Amino acid sequence: MSAALALAEASSTSPGPAGAKRLTNALLYLDDVRVTFDGYRALRGLSLTLGRGEMRAIIGPNGAGKTTMMDVITGKTRPDTGTAVFDGVHDLTTLDEATIADLGIGRKFQKPTVFESHTVADNILLALKGPRRAFPSLFGWRNRVEAERIDDILRIVGLVPHRARPAADLSHGQKQWLEIGMLLAQDPKLLLVDEPVAGMTDAETEETAKLLREIAKDHAVVVIEHDMHFVRALECRVTCLHEGAALAEGSIDAVSADPRVVEVYLGR
């Protein structure tokens, strides 16, 4: 189905956030997005539709445009032309990075960036959404709510036994999970995760697939990844990008059996 058709099918008159009319029921809608860097066409008509609560894996050869796509979604890169709509009403091509993050799009880059000298629990606390110290009289209540939220997040990312350790003492895989936890603390609607298992052990990779599947029960997630065993373990729809556009999309079995995907990516 073409993205334009998907938009038409997903069209709805249901009210969006703040009563605005939704353009689409999809959480993320990209259509014919084009980005050029100094004459190089990094995105050449990329279209992609992500449903609410959907997890999607993005694969594709180096230079296919995966990172550029994330940059467009987060407002880091402005497309030359094309449509990028979040939550049915927000035109991502006109918003800055801070505004887009506030809308509920969280991004995790490949390299973990945690506060090494702080404890694991404090890293989550520092990332929690919402103003602090605004209501001193509610401190006790606030602390309790925050403590419960921190516990929840540490449980999801499997770091409860490590909560009091400095982040510097964690393994590489555990630091990645902590950063995913910090992303969750921001309460995003959509998590963008770039190559989370690069450098992980097999056991950590398996654990990461499990935790992303858990997170995907309540959030939409887009994962860029080259490790096909991991992509299979995510048990989600897969999109293969090539030369700045979607080459194939479907189940892991369908996409990995697609001769075009084998030719440009898997067979190399």
State the Cα–Cα distance between residues 20 and 181, nearest whole angstrom.
31
Residue 62 or 137: the one with the smaller Cβ distance to ligand ATP is 62
**Residue 268 in the binding site for ligand ATP (CB under 6 A):** no
Closest distance of CB 61 from ligand ATP, Å? 7
Q: Applying CB under 6 A, does 65 fall inside the site for ligand ATP?
A: yes
Quote the crossing angle between the two packed helices 120-127 and 172-185, to the nearest 10°: 30
Structure tokens, 44: 């050449």
Within its chain, how far is the Cα of 82 from the centroid? 21
Cα 264 from Cα 34, distance rounded (Å): 21
Q: In this structure, are strands 81-86 and 90-91 parallel, antiparallel, or unpaired? A: antiparallel
112 lines the binding site for ligand ATP (CB under 6 A): no
The interface with ligand ATP within residues 149-178 (CB under 6 A) comprises none
CB closer to ligand ATP, 60 vs 181 = 60
In angstroms, the first-to-last Cα distance of the chain is 28
Choosing from 64, 153, 183, 247, the residue that interacts with ligand ATP (CB under 6 A) is 64
Q: How far is the CB of 64 from ligand ATP (least distance, A)?
A: 4
Considering the complex, what minimum distance in angstroms separates the CB of residue 83 from ligand ATP?
A: 19
Q: Is 187 left (phi over 0), alpha (psi -120 to 50) or beta?
A: left
Given a contact cutoff of 8 angstroms between Cβ atoms, the answer to whether 181 and 159 are in contact is: yes
Near ligand ATP by CB under 6 A, which window of 55-63, 100-108, 129-137, 185-193?
A: 55-63
Count of residues interacting with ligand ATP (CB under 6 A): 12
| Contact flag: residue 60 with ligand ATP (CB under 6 A) | yes
Binding site for ligand ATP (CB under 6 A): 37-38, 40, 42, 60, 62-68
